[in-house]
Structure 1
Amino acid sequence: MDDQNKEAAILSSWHKNVDAWTDAVRKAEIGSRVAITDAAIVNAVVAQDPKTVLDVGCGEGWLVRALAGLGLAAEGIDGVAGLINRAAELGGTFSELSYQDFAHGAWQTRVDCVVCNFSLLGYYVVADVLSAIPPALNSHGCCVIQTLHPAFNGAPYCDGWREGNWQGFSDDFCDPAPWYFRTLNSWLELISASGFTLRQLIEPLNPQTGLPASIIFVLSPESKSRGRSKS
């Protein structure tokens, strides 16, 4: 299966697992998120003191609601209509927008912070999305990305596609999506190539193992990437 077909397989898997994923999140069935990574991404975003936030790949919308509950004007986009529909059930501002459309400039509103929380899983599409984020930011805006920690993934430490699995999840899940693994160096190269500089790197620790549960990149757009003035 080539890169484009694997990208399509990611989207197909999420279409099939809308309800299973929504239930898992809302019933707090994902231990690492409940104990570590959900709070980590909220804290990382809030620490940047944004007034407006866009959650790219918002899923069932928990992060948008959490940030809105803290007084931020947050909204979410996702390419899976089913997830957007489920997100809207509990209130909040959500829109269906594919990564490809976002990458081609379909998102027209500038915000103080764009957040991608475990939502950058592909290869080409991730680079396209990251390159489209700087023009979507106000001056002094930032991008916050949380993803799997590349150094503690239990697989060979080299870039490449990995087979997905739903290990530890309920039997309601099916057809796990592949995902593209990047080393830390590859992430940093991609960040630079996308028009960002690294503002901060955060490694939320699992208190039981002492190992990082994830990695969070806080990014600032380079001045040359800010093609439009603040609205």
Structure 2
Amino acid sequence: MSGDKPSQMMRSWQANAQAWTHVVREQRLPSRRLVTDAALLEAIEQCSPTRVLDVGCGEGWLCRALAKKHVEVIGVDASQPLIMQARAADPYPQRYHHCAYDQLAQAGHALGQFDLLVCNFALLDEVLLPSLKALSTRVTETGHLLIQTLHPWQACNGQPYQDGWRVEQFSDFAGEFVEPMPWFFRTLGSWLELLAEAGWQLQLLREPLHPQQQQPASLLLVLRQCSAGDADTFEIGK
């Protein structure tokens, strides 16, 4: 790989769009098939949203699932090839928009407001503060931000438990992926500090367990915008 890590990451999502689409639609990731997809859908249902923004929608599986439940949903992704995959699989291709996350504050006239913002394994860059602040412009006053991401203790994978860039080689997929993907590892403390700095208050923390390994498959956070007088309390769920 050459160049800076964010650019390499974007090239990976562009070059691997078709391979990733096949993996998701064929349910070839056990963690997603057994745990994380269902955990995300359950958390969304508990928020009872009427209008959802899927940030990092990829090939569109979540948008299609929510649309079947008669939820109004819009998907955005920074990868144009993934947006094309999403549009091709949906009878309503206009619901998908090619957009960098930190540009969402400038897309208000086209997207409007949402009572739930969802980031499902989508926040993988080192510099996330501009994106998290931009998201606050798209949520209603009583709305929520739902983040599902790699569980820091599991994703550490024997390496030092400290923030830093890691590389996903997609070694489980026999050469289908043509570009490795850099991604930025964060500790749990780093996640919470970043979200607080961006003006988001934690409401709920869950650690969905893999049914066989009995280890956390992901970290799931529900947040809302901070306001005057907010107490620093939150709920830990399973």
- Given the superposition, is the C-alpha separation of residues 170 and 65 from structure 1 closer, same or farther in structure 2, using an over 3 Å criterion? farther
215-224 or 104-113: bigger deviation: 104-113
**1:221 partner amino acid:** Q
Q: Secondary structure at the match of 2:106?
A: coil
Q: Give the paired residue count.
A: 221
Do 2:162 and 2:186's aligned partners in 1 also have CA atoms closer than 8 Å?
yes
Task: Indicate whether 1:136 and 2:135 are aligned.
Answer: no
Name the structure 1 match of 2:129. Answer: 127
Name the structure 2 match of 1:75. Answer: 74
Name the structure 2 match of 1:23. Answer: 22
Where in structure 1 do 4 or more consecutive aligned residues deviate above 4 Å?
none
- Given the superposition, is the C-alpha separation of residues 107 and 78 from structure 1 closer, same or farther in structure 2, using an over 3 Å criterion? farther
State how far apart, in whole Å, the 1-side matches of 2:174 and 2:51 are: 35
Name the structure 1 match of 2:234. Answer: none
For structure 2, list consecutive stretches of 5 or more residues without a partner in the other structure.
229-238
Name the structure 1 match of 2:231. Answer: none
- Given the superposition, is the C-alpha separation of residues 16 and 107 from structure 1 closer, same or farther in structure 2, using an over 3 Å criterion? farther
Deviation at 1:75, TM superposition (A): 1.2
Q: Secondary structure at the match of 1:208?
A: coil
**1:113 partner amino acid:** L
State how far apart, in whole Å, the 2-side matches of 1:105 and 1:44 are: 28
Name the structure 1 match of 2:209. Answer: 205
State how far apart, in whole Å, the 1-side matches of 2:100 and 2:108 are: 10
Deviations 1:148-194 (A, max 9, x none): 00112212110111122202224211211111111000000001001
Name the structure 1 match of 2:41. Answer: 42
Q: Secondary structure at the match of 1:198?
A: strand
Q: 1:216 aligns with which of 181, 200, 220?
A: 220
Name the structure 1 match of 2:148. Answer: 146
Equivalent residue runs for 1:154-173 within 5 Å: 154=157, 155-173=159-177
C-alpha RMSD of the superposition:
1.6
Deviation at 1:64, TM superposition (A): 0.7
State how far apart, in whole Å, the 2-side matches of 1:167 and 1:214 are: 20
- Given the superposition, is the C-alpha separation of residues 170 and 45 from structure 1 closer, same or farther in structure 2, using an over 3 Å criterion? farther
Q: 1:195 aligns with which of 195, 199, 219?
A: 199
Deviations 1:40-98 (A, max 9, x none): 11111111111000011100000111111112111100111111111012214111112
State how far apart, in whole Å, the 1-side matches of 2:136 and 2:101 are: 15
**2:140 partner amino acid:** N
**2:62 partner amino acid:** L
**2:176 partner amino acid:** D
**1:56 partner amino acid:** V
Q: Secondary structure at the match of 2:124?
A: coil
TM-score normalised by structure 2 residue count: 0.88
Name the structure 1 match of 2:6. Answer: 7
Identity across aligned pairs (percent)? 41
State how far apart, in whole Å, the 2-side matches of 1:105 and 1:188 are: 26
**1:115 partner amino acid:** V
148-157 or 6-15: bigger deviation: 148-157
Deviation at 1:29, TM superposition (A): 1.1
Deviation at 1:130, TM superposition (A): 0.8
**2:120 partner amino acid:** N
